[in-house]
Structure 1
């Protein structure tokens, strides 16, 4: 095992084509958490390449030659001997013993019980996506819908992108989890419980309800599935979203642009850490802002007024001051006696949140 560590210690890291992300690794010890292909390894290597090579040890824990018991015997003495100040364990395996170093960096697809600060890396939001685009013009939003937030999608030929996502998910998930995610991709933006998923899947494979519930929770813990609560009703059935809209395209043939658009808006709200909920007829209620956000990609002013009429009870009861209808390209400010109403194109809306 010492031979393996020597190999990694001599290894020259390569991180060509790295583009800065919104988060970075500082001087603290951290657990970098994100789903497969979210960019954890690139972010980690970018941090290490800013240091003197002899000061760090990078180890990919997926290496099939790695034996955890043997590694635990030699890793700490190796780091002491070579005066390693930064130990980076990429794709960390539970069971690998950690110890005091100046900086310990772990990466994982899920939160772990380790004595370091957790740093969550999301997929690209729209602003980050623009850094990968050759130019920012009217095609950028369409590209965002097609490619989603996986950083590697820009480097893959268009004919291979969906297969790339399928392979990524197949490697990252257990077969039952992939089945659950496939079923969930057909139910995006709908109110969905674990029992609903069980009812859909029990005819396709033999699995106990309890085991399926555990796998659903695993997908939620790893942030492949996202659940939105109903306002002031935490026990109500939650609305289901995917961590990336491109997953829906990769796992089923159903086309429903409105749902994809709503999913995209929710991802932007999450990435900007904005507290939000759903309610009947309301896509997103932002209580701290006294604001409602509606996903209406192709709505006109008349349709929006009719929509607001159905929400007047909620608006008055909760003191909503502003209603924003996020659209594809229509921009307008409407006069209304109850609340301010705006129609805002998606790029303008999400970049304004910055």
Structure 2
């Protein structure tokens, strides 16, 4: 292990062009959580390249050459002897002991809730981050976002290879049950679905216990491959399911439903902005802190919006909604309402608005 650590310590870090992310690292200790291919490694390596070469060591814990017991026995002494200030443990696993260094950074899909570490959740690219990968920003950028989604690697993969490439990543990252659940969730994207309903469907195609499915479902949620949205003031009601990235829809399903894809895309923008939101009957997203309702209506016009407002008027009055925002593909406009400001805003303008 000493030889391996010496090799890793002396190895120069290389990084292709680093693109803008909304998160950045400082001289604190971190736990960076995020699904596979969300950009954790690049974020860390970009930070390390700004430090003195002999002040850090980067270790990928998935390296098959690592003997855990021997590694745990010598890592602290190695860091002390080489005066290493920053230790990075990428693809961290809990069997590796935490050592005492000035700055510790661990990267993992799982949040290990280590108290002294600042926790960062890194998601795939949002629309603003995606634009950093585009050669130019014009009307084609949004369509390109629909095609590629938020995984940074998708920009480097040929269009005819993207689906299989993403499938391979998911197969290598998830176990069979988790993958089956995720595939089913792609078909139910932006719809209300319970773990029990998933169990009822999957038990006909594979042998599985209810407990095993529930644990796998919770693991997918904890790691961030799926997200659940609660109903307003009904914590026990069935939750709506959203995917971690819209590219999973075409990679794991042949079903087409642009409206749900569009809604999922809006949800991810809200998720990454840390805004508390809920759904309700006829309401895509209710944001209580800003007293706002957001509707995903990609191809709406004023007439369609007017009918929609009529159908949710009781909710608007009950919760004293001050603003209704209908997110569209390209349509802009507004309409009068006695209680709420009602606007239609194209997705790209809305996503870049704040």
Q: TM-score, normalised by structure 2?
A: 0.98
Matches within 5 A, 1:6-45: 6-45=6-45
Aligned to 2:99: 99
Matches within 5 A, 1:333-352: 333-352=334-353
* Structure 1: gaps of 5 or more residues: none
Deviation at 1:68, TM superposition (A): 0.8
Q: Secondary structure at the match of 1:250?
A: helix
Is the 2:75–2:99 Cα contact (8 Å) retained in structure 1?
no
Secondary structure class of the residue paired with 2:184: helix
Name 1:275's counterpart in structure 2: 276
Residue 314 of structure 1, CA deviation: 0.8
2:331 maps to 1:306 = no
- How far 1:4 sits from its partner (Å)? 0.7
- 1:86 Cα deviation from its structure 2 partner: 0.6
Give the length in aligned residue pairs.
Answer: 353
Q: Deviations over 1:148-187 (max 9, x none)?
A: 0001111111111111111111111011100100001000
Shift of 1:25: 1.3
Aligned partners of 2:248, 2:92: CA distance in 1, in Å?
25
1:170 aligned partner: 171
By how many angstroms is 1:81 displaced? 0.8
Which residue number corresponds to residue 56 of structure 2?
Answer: 56
Partner of 1:206, secondary structure, is: coil
Show CA shifts across 1:17-73 (max 9, x none). Answer: 111211011111101111000010101111111111111011110100111101001
Shift of 1:94: 0.9
Superposition pairs of residues 296-335 of structure 1, within 5 angstroms: 296-335=297-336
Describe how 1:233-248 pairs up with structure 2 within 5 A.
Answer: 233-248=234-249
**Separation of aligned partners in 1, 2:145 and 2:191:** 22
The residue number in structure 1 matching 2:139 is 138
Unaligned runs of 5+ in 2: none
Q: In the alignment, is residue 160 of structure 1 matched against residue 161 of structure 2?
A: yes
What residue in structure 2 maps to residue 3 of structure 1? 3
By how many angstroms is 1:113 displaced?
A: 3.2
Separation in 1 of the partners of 2:90 and 2:236? Answer: 37
User: Once superposed, what is the RMSD of the aligned Cα atoms?
Assistant: 0.8
Structure 1: 4+ residue segments shifted above 3 A: none
2-structure distance, mates of 1:109, 1:206: 27
Distance 1:16 1:335 in 2: 50
Aligned partners of 1:243, 1:39: CA distance in 2, in Å? 14
